[in-house]
Amino acid sequence: MRFDLLVLGSGPAGQRAAIQGAKLGRRVGLCEQREVVGGVCLHTGTIPSKTLREAVLYLTGFTQRHLYGASYSVKDRITMQDLLFRCQHVIRQEVEVVRDQMRRNDVTVLYGTAAFVDATHVQITGERGNTVVEAERILVATGTRPTVPRGVEVDHRTVILSDDVLEMSVLPRSMTVVGAGVVGLEYASMFAALGVRVTVIDKRPRLLDFLDAEIAEALSYQMRGMKCTFRLGEEVARVVIERPGRAVALLQSGKTISSELLLCSAGRTGATVELNLGAAGLAADEQGRLAVDARHATPVPSIYAAGDVIGFPALASTSAEQGRRAACHALGAPCPEKTGDFPYGIYAVPEISFVGKNEQELTAAGVPYEVGIARFKEIARGVIHGDETGMLKIIFHREDRRILGVHILGTGATELVHIGQAVMAFGGTLDYFVEAVFNYPTFAECYKVAALDGFNKVGPAVARRAA
């Protein structure tokens, strides 16, 4: 069996690469280790975790409590089965979408574990035996798997990894989350919204140091309001399972934290161990990731890589675009250089999204900037929706008023951010938001309110122009 392009992995990067290769008229094969397409993104990562969040917000009535009171909920006794029902429905539907895309584009899907024979041949081992596939170009898009740190015993019931959340049968009363990265905080905030007593442990002194400090502080404040406890600047020495339903985290400082469930969220490692990279002349770093150039090419001319397996930013959105661009480069098709900033979304409770620079980065670079802020409690749509804690922050250049960054916390943040992204991509200034008319009442109106707030800070001359 021979292909022009063989893609290893059917997550966002693999899907988009395979379809792009097919659109270019090439013969494309797609290898997936599971017996169903979709990769980690669809089965244990992005899609189920975001669906779980929607189920939590709906069933708890969390977003309506400012209107109807702290005790309001759609269902009194929420079970894991209630939450997972929605996840399973969405996963089934999305699997069918991906299958249909592969079929319509004549992509040959092969199921089994891939291992390089050499730089142009891959052995695929599945339930039906072994098959050696030849390909002119090979794209590695195998994604990542959870990292298990030393000193942590994982039994996948009392001590679990993020990939195990969908296998939970009972909602715990208490939970410890080791690791305050994006995944850890997303799950910590979801379970806290369900009323679970959550403790988050992380050796870093603050949450998500890549976030704008004001947004990170607001997230921390709101999670504490949900009775979430943070143990920052603390490191876990060991985790002990005393019995089923009781895990104890022993900290380097001598503290012990007990809970019914412990979620270990200590990052992710590239899923490259089984690929037999050495046979193709490749090697992964200590985190299992592959190094690529700007064209997503590895040091081996016939092999490319894209998605989480190449590291930061490791987002489903950026992985999909990397896969498309990698396929174009691999097959010699025109592919313009990437322009503009990508948006970053964090699906915690509350939701966060940003694009561009934050205040710390601009201060370090010596860029003169100013900030305009709109708070959801001052926006009619925010009051209608019941979100009194959200905010939208525009950072702009003080001299020419170019938009340098947009940072949002609250309802619809991951949708709203794209307005700022588009204006930034076209070199827009604060003037656009001041002069634009937004539907009323909408959350998008926050852009105009934040822009006017910013204009009022840069001096009388500019303020008169805004009026």
- In tens, the pLDDT along 63-81 reads 887 777 777 778 888 999 9
> What is the per-residue pLDDT for 378?
94
**In 151-220, at which residue ranges do the beta strands (DSSP E only) sit?**
159-161, 174-178, 197-202
Domain boundaries defined on the chain: 2-146+269-330, 159-266, 350-459
Tell whether the model's pLDDT for residue 461 goes beyond 90: no
> What is the per-residue pLDDT for 466?
45
Measured in whole angstroms, how far is the alpha carbon of residue 369 from the centre of its chain? 28
Give the β-pairing of 352-356 and 344-346.
Answer: antiparallel
Q: At what angle do helices 80-104 and 12-23 cross, to 10 degrees?
A: 20
Percent of the chain scoring above 90 in pLDDT: 89
Measure the CA–CA gap between 120 and 44, rounded to whole angstroms.
30
Tell whether the model's pLDDT for residue 460 goes beyond 70: no
Across the strands, what pairs with 34?
A: none
Which secondary structure element, helix H or strand E, spans residue 213, and what is its range?
helix 213-225
> What is the per-residue pLDDT for 226?
93
Tell whether the model's pLDDT for residue 110 goes beyond 60: yes
Q: What class is the 2-146+269-330 domain?
A: alpha beta
Tell whether the model's pLDDT for residue 338 goes beyond 80: no
Between 444 and 153, the higher pLDDT residue:
444
> What is the per-residue pLDDT for 467?
47
Q: Do the domains spanning 159-266 and 350-459 agree at the CATH topology level?
A: no
Which secondary structure element, helix H or strand E, spans residue 422, and what is its range?
helix 413-425
Q: What is the pLDDT of residues 280-296, one digit of tens each?
A: 999 999 999 999 999 99
Domain 350-459 fold = Enolase-like; domain 1 (3.30.390)
What are the structure tokens assigned to 170, written together? 């009972």
Measure the CA–CA gap between 115 and 301, rounded to whole angstroms.
18
* pTM exceeds cut of 0.75: yes
> What is the per-residue pLDDT for 344?
96
Tell whether the model's pLDDT for residue 465 goes beyond 70: no
Measure the CA–CA gap between 159 and 418, rounded to whole angstroms.
38
Domain 159-266 fold = FAD/NAD(P)-binding domain (3.50.50)
Tell whether the model's pLDDT for residue 462 goes beyond 80: no
